[in-house]
Amino acid sequence: MPSKVEILLSEAEKDFNLKLYNKCVSALYFAARMMIELYLKSMNINIPKRDDKLANLIENLGFRNEAESLRLLYELRKKADYRDESVNEAEAKEALKIASSIIKVFT
């Protein structure tokens, strides 16, 4: 049975192919966040609820690039979920690369 992270990533890829870029980016953010949370739980580290605090935490653990990537995904998710403007294809494509990289690092 696939993990929730794998399911979210698969759904995001399907959304991308269907040109549902807002849904794609939102799922990618949550897949990346969930993978990071699983990693932190395995190390018995408390998980902050706030997104900026999570990025700061992983940066302090030495994952600077991944922290910046998570911040970018979060900004795209806010655009997808809350702003009048939609995520475009290029942004969704970049988000796919970023989320896949984060998931790989924390696996």
Given a contact cutoff of 8 angstroms between Cβ atoms, the answer to whether 52 and 31 are in contact is no
Dihedral sign of CA atoms 70, 71, 76, 78 in order: positive
For the stretch 18-23, contacts whose Cβ atoms lie closer than 8 Å and that sit 24 or more positions apart, written own/partner, are 19/89, 21/80, 21/86, 21/87, 21/88, 21/89, 21/91, 21/92, 22/80, 22/81, 22/86, 22/87, 23/80
The per-residue pLDDT for range 33-50, each reduced to its tens digit, is 999 999 999 999 999 999
* Domain extent at residue 77: 4-106
The per-residue pLDDT for range 45-80, each reduced to its tens digit, is 999 999 999 999 999 999 999 999 999 999 999 999
CATH number at residue 82: 1.20.120.330
% of the chain exceeding 70 in pLDDT? 99
Domain count, the chain: 1
Distance CA 98, CA 34 (A): 14
Position 1 scores a pLDDT of 57
